[in-house]
Amino acid sequence: MDRLDARALRRIAPPPRVVDWSILVVVTTAVGTGLLSWTGWLSPALLVTLHTVVSLTLVGLLLFKFARVANRVRDSRNWDRATPISVLLGAVVVAVLALGIFWGLGGNVPVGPWTTLNVHIGFGLLAIPLLLLHLRARLRLPSRTDASRRSALKTGGLLVAGVLAWRATEFVAATRDVVTRETGSKPIGDLADTDTEGGSFPVTSWVADDPDPVEPETWSLAVSGQVDEELELGHGDLPSGDERTVQRETLDCTSGWYTIQEWGGVRIGDLLDEAGVTDEAAWVRFVSVTGYRWSLPLAEAREALLATHVGGRPLSHGHGAPARLVAPGRRGFQWVKWVERVELRRDPDPAQWFVTLVSGFD
Ligand SMILES: Nc1nc2c(c(=O)[nH]1)N[C@H]1C(S)=C(S)[C@@H](COP(=O)(O)O)O[C@H]1N2
Ligand SMILES: [Mo]
């Protein structure tokens, strides 16, 4: 940016502290909406839209900020102990924004097993501790002189620009035929590492879950907890051929891809009717041979499927053979693979969040 542009930017910029506090609000919102969009607690469409709008607003705010500090940073005599962190933070945030916009416009350059969305999220998480360090060194409380109608208008104008920029990216993405779901995921296309044996979609494990193949002959499925009668089913006890329930459901991974497949297996509702559930039962927990687990409210679990097949063929090991959970409407990480226990419980299981990160580490 040459000096003249920087001066023009400085002239239209809201006061420094208004810019800085707006950046903090916008970054917090971006991180919050980004993380929440995985959980399914709120409408993903709303969260992803909000995430995009505030992030594009951040682009404008950063231009003001960089124009203001550029001269100071250029002269090394102005540097103090906190400056390297601040410069690194600036670079990381620019990378996060660039990767996010690139993904939103339909780009994807996988790095090993990671999609561009994964890399965007990784840099985003890295920015959090850097931001905290930066704030510790530089935080200034807002003063009353910063609050004026003028600066409120300028800040509001930026938000409007963010909304317009979001509409523009939507338009560009549409002309490029990018089919994203409301979660921001794209259909599998040029993603590497596809397993065609059990349907052409990637085999994905969350962190370190990579068990040896589970032999159907020695595998068994336990239905236990708040049940009238515990069940222990072998592979041969699961429905075969026409007896299988087949549901067309969307597997949507937080790595940013989705696939629509026909899953065949046993309805959890049927399984529970066979065991009989007690009045105490409120949650159903699905546990993998690796310890990985997830729980669904009882009513929702009844509509889920314990799948043994996909696309009319037996699941491959990578996709969770002999049986994996298919949880309609839930994100992929909740679709537990290699299920060996179905537990009826009174309570939810908050520790499951943590377990998904560490299961598989010995
Ligand atoms: N036991 C277990 N189940 C798991 C995972 C895992 O790491 N361990 N990964 C989840 C994630 S993040 C996704 S997106 C889906 C991927 O299913 P796939 O490998 O059949 O594509 O499985 C889910 N089930
Ligand atoms: Mo995933």
In this structure, what token pair is assigned to residue 134? 């930066």
* pLDDT mean over 50-68: 93
253 lies in the same domain as 325: yes
The tens digit of pLDDT for each residue in 186-226 reads 887 555 445 444 457 888 876 668 899 999 999 999 999 99
Query: pLDDT band for position 54 (50/70/90)?
Result: very high
Same domain, 220 and 139: no
What local confidence, expressed as pLDDT, does residue 191 receive?
Answer: 54
Q: Among 292, 337, 353, which residue has the most ligand 1 atoms within 8 Å of its CB, making it the best to mutate?
A: 337
Show the beta-strand stretches assigned E in the chain. 186-187, 194-195, 201-202, 220-225, 231-234, 245-253, 257-267, 283-288, 293-297, 305-310, 313-314, 324-326, 339-345
Which domain does 200 fall in, by range? 188-358
What is the spatial distance between Cα 60 and Cα 166, in angstroms, rounded to a whole number?
13
Residue 297 and residue 151 in one domain: no
Both 147 and 197 in one domain: the answer is: no
pLDDT at 344: 98
Separation CA 53–CA 163 (nearest Å): 5
Q: How far is the CA of 207 from the centre of ligand 2 (A)?
A: 10
Q: In this structure, which ligand is nearest to the CA of 118? A: 2
Both 69 and 41 in one domain: the answer is yes
Which CATH number belongs to the domain containing residue 270 in this structure?
3.90.420.10
Q: How far apart are alpha carbons 308 and 107 in whole angstroms?
A: 34
- What is the pLDDT, as a whole number, of residue 207? 64
pLDDT tens-digit profile of 111-143?
887 889 999 999 999 999 999 999 999 888 877
**Residue 101 and residue 245 share a domain:** no
Residue 266: the pLDDT is 98
Mean pLDDT across 28-32: 95
Q: Quick one: 46 and 58 in the same domain?
A: yes
Whether residue 173 sits in one domain with residue 232: no
- pLDDT attached to residue 362: 57
User: Do 94 and 155 sit in the same domain of this protein?
Assistant: yes
Higher pLDDT, 70 or 199: 70
User: Nearest C-alpha to atom 17 of ligand 1 is from which residue?
Assistant: 204
Compute the Cα dihedral for 47, 51, 53, 57 and give only its sign: positive
Ligand 1 binding pocket (C-beta < 6 A) is: 201-206, 209, 251, 253, 288, 290, 292, 318-320, 332-333, 335-338
CB contact at 8 A, 6 and 70: yes
Give the separation between CA 217 and CA 270, rounded to whole angstroms.
23
Confidence of residue 3 (pLDDT cuts 50, 70, 90): low
Alpha-carbon separation of residue 11 from 6, 8, 15, 157, 163 (angstroms): 9, 5, 10, 15, 23
On the question of pLDDT at 96 being above 90, the answer is yes
> Quick one: 193 and 174 in the same domain?
no
Tokens of 232: 């222990």
- Maximum CA extent, the chain: 79
For ligand 1, the distance from its centroid to the CA atom of residue 208, given in whole angstroms, is 11
266 shares a domain with 211: yes
Domain termination residue (choose one: 184, 211, 245)? 184
Domains held by the chain: number: 2
Complete DSSP assignment for 118-141:
HHHHHHHHHHHHHHHHHHHHH---
Give pLDDT tens digits for 272-284.
999 999 999 999 9
Of 184, 202, 225, the one marking the end of a domain is 184
Residues 91 and 194 in one domain: no
Q: How far apart are CA 121 and CA 127, in angstroms?
A: 10
pLDDT value at residue 339: 98
List pLDDT tens digits, range 245-279. 999 999 998 888 889 899 999 999 999 999 999 99
User: Where a domain ends, among 184, 201, 225?
Assistant: 184
